[in-house]
């Protein structure tokens, strides 16, 4: 009987400690209204890939920006592609950010052009 009570007590304690964090509606709306969220909607697996990642985010002004540029660079992808650079131009549309332009370029690991980024796919 003592063992059963201990098992049930431990199970109840662990279940109570493992409650999911409830996000407030305001926090959820704040996250959806960022420029980076718009990029993550375009690349949902960005943080799930095993690659080095560099993100540069710039706004047109410090307070209440209306334009943004986000540069995402992924490196160490495979033996033919050294890096992929994706440039996003975003504009604020009321409370959310919209991607207005996206350019993707590649730095090849082999071939004639291995030092700079190019818009053509790597050989």
Contact assessment for residue 68 and residue 60, using Cβ atoms and an 8 Å cutoff: yes
The answer as to CATH 3.10.450 being correct for domain 35-118 is yes
| Cα dihedral sign, 42-82-58-48 | positive
Predicted local confidence at residue 33, as pLDDT: 79
Mean pLDDT of 105-118: 92
Q: Is the pLDDT of residue 120 over 80?
A: yes
Cα angle, residue 45 at apex, residues 69 and 74 outer, rounded to 5°: 55
Contact assessment for residue 91 and residue 67, using Cβ atoms and an 8 Å cutoff: yes
How far apart CA 58 and CA 68 sit, in angstroms, is 6
How far apart CA 8 and CA 75 sit, in angstroms, is 49
23 vs 114, residue with greater confidence: 114
Boundaries of every domain in the chain: 35-118
Q: Whole-structure pTM over 0.75, yes or no?
A: no
Residues 42-67 have pLDDT tens digits of: 988 888 777 789 999 999 999 999 99
Q: Is the pLDDT of residue 86 over 60?
A: yes
Count CA within 13 A, CB hemisphere, residue 36.
10
Residues 15-27 have pLDDT tens digits of: 555 555 555 555 4
Name the 3-class secondary structure at 40. helix
Q: Is the pLDDT of residue 4 over 70?
A: no
123 vs 60, residue with greater confidence: 60
């Amino acid at each position: 009987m003592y063992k059963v009570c201990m098992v049930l007590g431990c199970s109840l304690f662990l279940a109570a400690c493992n409650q999911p964090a409830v996000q407030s509606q305001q926090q959820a709306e704040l996250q959806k209204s960022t420029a980076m969220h718009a990029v993550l909607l375009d690349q949902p697996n960005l943080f799930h890939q095993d690659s080095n990642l560099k993100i540069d985010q710039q706004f047109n002004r410090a307070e209440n920006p209306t334009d943004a540029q986000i540069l995402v660079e992924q490196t160490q992808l495979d033996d033919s592609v050294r890096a992929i650079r994706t440039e996003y131009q975003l504009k604020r549309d009321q409370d959310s950010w919209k991607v207005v332009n996206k350019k993707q370029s590649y730095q090849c690991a082999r071939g004639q052009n291995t030092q700079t980024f190019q818009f053509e796919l790597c050989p």
